[in-house]
Structure 1
Amino acid sequence: YLCFLKILDPHSVFYSFGDQDGFLGAPVQGIGLDSYYNSYDYLFEHKDSIMRFFNRSVNKQLGKTKATLIFYDVTNVYFETALSDLECGRQQIDFQDRLQQELELAYESGELDSSCFDDEGRLRPCPKADDFIKKIQEQKIEYLRMRGPSKEHRFDLPLASIALVINEEGIPIDFYVYAGNASEFKTMSSSIESLKQKYNVKESIVVADRGLNSAANIKMLQTNDLGFLMAQKVSNLDQKTTKAMFDPEGYVPIIRQGEEIGRFKVIKDWVKKGKVKEEDTHCTLVLTFDKKRQKRDLAVLEVWKELVLKKQAQGIKVKPKRSGWACIAKTSEKVEAKIEGVDEEVLEAKRRLAGYAALIYKNAPDCVEQSALPDGHLAAAYHELNQIESCFRVMKSHLGLRPMYVRNSNHIKGHILICVIALGILKLLQWKLKEARTPLSISEIVRALNSATTVPIKSANELMFLQCSRPQNIRKGLERLTQEELKAELSGRRQQPSQLEILFKTVGLVPPARLVNIKEMGRCLGVRLTAEDSIPELLKDML
């Protein structure tokens, strides 16, 4: 009930409890408000088994056993509260258990010895214990809702980070929740190793954006028998590679409708260097140039230039930065100082890079060559990473992922699980619609489901149901048509099934007629309905 309500009309738990009397079949009658909140504890406790079951069910529908491409990305969500968990002194509920596990591992590995504990098994002050406490603090497992770099620019509110893993169809495989101030670079290792342990994932390619591209993460993926496909910053390339990027020789043109829109160049056995020698990785580098991207990049730089000059006139101070408009601001100090103008040297270097991008790729170790991606398909595969950004947008805009109104760390993770399952249902339904050649957007699916309304009436002592669907936005996409043209267009549409009828047929159900009895309604919905349990108790007196 909570999952489907996230799809139909996402609100708080309290609102969901009050909305339970509006559904045919009375799905949650007799359940108190406390049970709604307690269900979040249950969801947290059984999250892994629920996601395993969900994945098995999805694989049966898709007819596949494993994902060849795995898309991984991280976002964060904010809470409508002024204080972080650290400021409130509110530890994660499972922190003591996780701390005990870390203590046991440290003792078994020799990191801590018996001299570090008192007679009651508690840590006593000593250099080793102090180092252990620092390590725990660096893991950021004590507090969940913390301030950090918000992707939605809500730096005033505490956050939680969510790492999402999806398959090629955009359907969630798993998710992980971290503190709002945790580094996504460092949490990737924990997510991938947990994913491998739970699902025995191997010989697959992990696709991620450049925000997760580090030599340490790449080495970690290879150690876990996984390949990778990630964006690579062209501003960080070595001198030799930069020279090759600007050299037109070796580029393969990309032709669309008889016109060259871009080009790409493949550099085999390129070395991705790490902070330590052991992290160096040999991989394939794909350099790309896109005319449309170049036009956009140059336009952005002009906007930045105007912004810097405007802020200079206002006497605003800035700190030296490597990204955003501030990177082209010229100052005489290495700390926060007034803007002296535009750094023309930096601006010209960025103009020269406009339109260029890069990807790095390597197949999974010991993987059969047939499963590798052809060089020409690398950019297309990376482009599919947009699906995961779409998943985040759907959860935030359609499924009520944020802001969160629960504060208990277990309830937060239970709430996210409900949103992920709801997303999975929508994405699976979208896949089915696409396979049936009747594709619908997420917005169209949600609007169609919300139009499925019925009114119970009594006719000659028989319970009947009258369909009274809310009219859809018939003018969408037709705003510029005249009234006569609109009538002609709608006349043709009436001969076609509605979006709700398409949804019914796609999942193997029969759309109910305008007026049906209770037996016929049950047959259409694929459930058994009786007069006693089909109507919520509070609405029976209204009949």
Structure 2
Amino acid sequence: MFVRTSTRRNRDGSKVSYLQLAHNEWDPTAKTARTKVLYSFGRADQLDRPAIERLISALTRVVGVEPASSGPDRARAVGVPGLEFVESRPLGGAWLLDGLWHRLGIDTLLRRLAAGTRRDPIVERVLFALVANRALAPSSKLAATSWVAHDVHVPGLDAVSDDACYRAMDWLLQVEDQLARGVFDQVAHLLNLEVDLIFFDTTSTYFETEDPDEPVWRDDHGRLVEHDDTHADDGAAADSTADAEQPPAGATGRAGFRSRGKSKDSRDDLPQVVVGMAVTRDGIPVRVWCWPGNTSDSPLIRQVRDELRDWTLGKVIWVADRGFTSAQNRRHLAAGGGGYILGEKLRSGSAEATAALSRQGRYQEVSANLRVKEVKISESERFVVCHNPDAATRDAAVRANLVERLEAMISTSDRLTPRKRAELRGVISTKPGLNRFLRVTPGGLLRADAAKITADAKLDGKYLLRTSDPHLSTEDIALGYKQLLEVERGWRDMKQVLDLRPVYHRLEDRIRAHVLLCWLALLLARIVETRAATADMTTTWPRALDQLQRLHVGTFTGPAGLFRQTTPPSPEVRRLHTALDLALPPRILNLDPEPATR
């Protein structure tokens, strides 16, 4: 009786092996021995190992031999002589991300860009490890080196130094444009993206430091512009202070990268940088940008459109919120056959907002919480008034709370001296929510303005959209703008799941590279969610990660060499790999018969 291996070749050329318990029987008719299969253990790469071990234990007891229970003796008992179990690390998350990294061709692209340079051959693996770290266990770059060495199995990378990480980040900035373009082309092909809408929004991230960076000369894209000293007169001693004030060619202003500005995190007291992101309607982040912290939002969308102009996007309609609705932006986005869907401030008192609210018409039901109507204001643009009943209820509750607070603050103000009343008026003016409902009488008394409260109530749950596209339906305009929430979800995940901050860097280039790593991690996470949804798997990246990290790889080592074996994947992990069309890790991950070197 013996265990034999039989092999079958599939149509695609791959081979599948099966383990069988067999013995030879004599065939008196044919006068030869024939093999008879007593039991089939199944595919060799999908063995039920615990069941086999239990069978071995039972048989050894029958013959009066007790099986070893643990340690090296256990390894010898199950047929792995000379090996000792030394560690177990999570494999599932890194394995799946590496599969996507390869499917998108990012590894090939980075190696091609690094070819012919003096870059370390493992620079691609180092960058993947840093991206995987953001997606799996966000930490500083120094902590990431320890994570790679001890807490995860990264295919093709056993260890990395912090210097190698910083060198890889510096090089990443040099190839940013080629990388972003190449990655988008691969993603569009993999997901069959129909890029007709591009959503753009900005956020800010602050730094726990009191002092902003020193102002330096920058171009209109916020990039550093260096002085050109090659034509300086060697015989003249120029005044250094005067030279510092002379703008170099291409410079439009001076600003520190980490600067104070209008914080979207309510931290105006700390230096910050501005981060922009373009996203498709499916939530796939196309690219990210960084600007100094005091940069105004309005002109940024023009730069973004120009940088994506040469991409194979076809006709694109840009979707952005009301911070980007300037006339100059609208002209720029509509140029060359493009288009836009932009939010408009209803409370701005603009001519368009006033005209839109004065137009009569019936609302069209789009969904349970959205009604729309198109109003005729301009010959060149279309305007759509949207109404959200749920938001209207929230707006009414917020206003009632503000009016109550305002009335409580001014309830005893008539008894104050004019000077004290003016001081109270100054305090209220710093609170925009309260100030918009305040009225000052000719005699200097403070009152809640009933007319403003009534006018504000008419705007509950409403917002105004404007578009240059003549063919979109009213419903598509409203739903297209509503999908801007995908960008907001991207910011939320980047800050809370991938830990965009705290940023453990102070140099501008390192901060920019850090944002790029976060973008790549978000891209991989979004692709996992998108492909899972097409397979009817409603999952988010954190939920998928919880399942993936239960797939471990165990390492055995000793005089006989090194041996790595993976744990069986759960049904959820199998479904996820099937949805992404990725292969599961093999049962035997490494088998190195050479003597171990560590």
Q: Same fold (TM over 0.5)?
A: yes
* Structure 2 partner of 1:520: 587
Query: CA separation of 1:377/1:25 partners in 2, compared to 1, >3 Å: closer, same or farther?
Result: closer
Work out the CA distance in 2 between the residues paired with 1:510 and 1:423.
Answer: 22
Among 183, 187, 211, the alignment partner of 1:54 is 183
Work out the CA distance in 1 between the residues paired with 2:547 and 2:537.
Answer: 14
Among 336, 352, 355, the alignment partner of 2:461 is 355
Deviation at 1:431, TM superposition (A): 1.1
Among 270, 273, 279, the alignment partner of 1:157 is 270
Among 191, 195, 209, the alignment partner of 1:67 is 195
1:410 and 2:496 correspond: no
Work out the CA distance in 2 between the residues paired with 1:188 and 1:96.
Answer: 16
| Equivalent residue runs for 1:255-404 within 5 Å | 263-268=371-376, 270=378, 282-312=380-410, 317-318=426-427, 320=429, 323-330=432-439, 340-363=446-469, 372-404=471-503
Deviation at 1:347, TM superposition (A): 2.1
* Structure 1 partner of 2:323: 211
The AA in structure 1 aligned to 2:225 is: R
The 8 Å contact of residues 118 and 124 in structure 1, kept in 2 or not, is answered as no
Work out the CA distance in 1 between the residues paired with 2:514 and 2:542.
Answer: 22
Query: Any idea what SS the aligned residue of 1:250 has?
Result: coil
Query: Any idea what SS the aligned residue of 2:436 has?
Result: helix
The 8 Å contact of residues 230 and 359 in structure 1, kept in 2 or not, is answered as yes
Q: What fraction of aligned residue pairs are identical, expressed as a percent? A: 21
Deviation at 1:158, TM superposition (A): 0.8
Query: CA separation of 1:42/1:293 partners in 2, compared to 1, >3 Å: closer, same or farther?
Result: same
Among 361, 365, 374, the alignment partner of 1:250 is 361
* Structure 2 partner of 1:480: none
Deviation at 1:296, TM superposition (A): 1.3
Work out the CA distance in 2 between the residues paired with 1:394 and 1:255.
Answer: 28
Query: CA separation of 1:96/1:11 partners in 2, compared to 1, >3 Å: closer, same or farther?
Result: closer
Query: Any idea what SS the aligned residue of 1:19 has?
Result: helix
> Aligned Cα RMSD in Å?
4.0
Deviation at 1:460, TM superposition (A): 12
The AA in structure 1 aligned to 2:362 is: Y
Deviation at 1:176, TM superposition (A): 1.3
Moved more, 460-469 or 68-77: 460-469
Work out the CA distance in 2 between the residues paired with 1:180 and 1:242.
Answer: 34
Residue by residue over 1:251-295, the C-alpha shift from the partner in whole angstroms, topping out at 9 and shown as x without a partner, is: 2331757xxx65322124627xxxxxxxxxx21000122322221
The count of aligned residue pairs is 454
Residue by residue over 1:440-477, the C-alpha shift from the partner in whole angstroms, topping out at 9 and shown as x without a partner, is: 112212322333333324699683536399xxxxxxxx
Work out the CA distance in 1 between the residues paired with 2:587 and 2:251.
Answer: 60
* Structure 1 partner of 2:289: 176
Q: Which has the higher contact order (CA 8 A, sep 6+)?
A: 1
Query: CA separation of 1:15/1:439 partners in 2, compared to 1, >3 Å: closer, same or farther?
Result: same
* Structure 2 partner of 1:112: none
Residue by residue over 1:494-518, the C-alpha shift from the partner in whole angstroms, topping out at 9 and shown as x without a partner, is: xxx6432322222334556xxxxxx
The 8 Å contact of residues 92 and 143 in structure 1, kept in 2 or not, is answered as no
The 8 Å contact of residues 356 and 385 in structure 2, kept in 1 or not, is answered as no
* Structure 2 partner of 1:107: none
Work out the CA distance in 2 between the residues paired with 1:97 and 1:253.
Answer: 50
Work out the CA distance in 2 between the residues paired with 1:134 and 1:460.
Answer: 66
Work out the CA distance in 2 between the residues paired with 1:305 and 1:45.
Answer: 54
Residue by residue over 1:162-199, the C-alpha shift from the partner in whole angstroms, topping out at 9 and shown as x without a partner, is: 110111211111121101010011222222212214x2
Query: CA separation of 1:12/1:346 partners in 2, compared to 1, >3 Å: closer, same or farther?
Result: same
Query: CA separation of 1:43/1:230 partners in 2, compared to 1, >3 Å: closer, same or farther?
Result: same
Among 402, 427, 432, the alignment partner of 2:531 is 432
Query: CA separation of 1:100/1:375 partners in 2, compared to 1, >3 Å: closer, same or farther?
Result: farther
Mark the structure with the bigger radius of gyration.
Answer: 2
Deviation at 1:430, TM superposition (A): 1.1
Query: CA separation of 1:239/1:68 partners in 2, compared to 1, >3 Å: closer, same or farther?
Result: closer
| Equivalent residue runs for 1:461-480 within 5 Å | 463-465=563-565, 467=567
TM-score normalised by structure 2 residue count: 0.67
* Structure 2 partner of 1:449: 548
The 8 Å contact of residues 250 and 265 in structure 1, kept in 2 or not, is answered as yes
Identify, as 1 or 2, the structure richer in strand.
2
The 8 Å contact of residues 70 and 165 in structure 1, kept in 2 or not, is answered as yes
Identify, as 1 or 2, the structure richer in helix.
1
The AA in structure 1 aligned to 2:153 is: L
Query: CA separation of 1:530/1:240 partners in 2, compared to 1, >3 Å: closer, same or farther?
Result: closer
Q: Structure 2: 5+ residue runs without aligned partners?
A: 1-128, 413-422
Deviation at 1:321, TM superposition (A): 6.7
Deviation at 1:400, TM superposition (A): 1.4
* Structure 2 partner of 1:36: 165
1:10 and 2:83 correspond: no
* Structure 1 partner of 2:19: none
| Equivalent residue runs for 1:127-138 within 5 Å | 136=251, 138=253
TM-score normalised by structure 1 residue count: 0.73
Work out the CA distance in 1 between the residues paired with 2:200 and 2:249.
Answer: 29
Work out the CA distance in 2 between the residues paired with 1:506 and 1:96.
Answer: 41
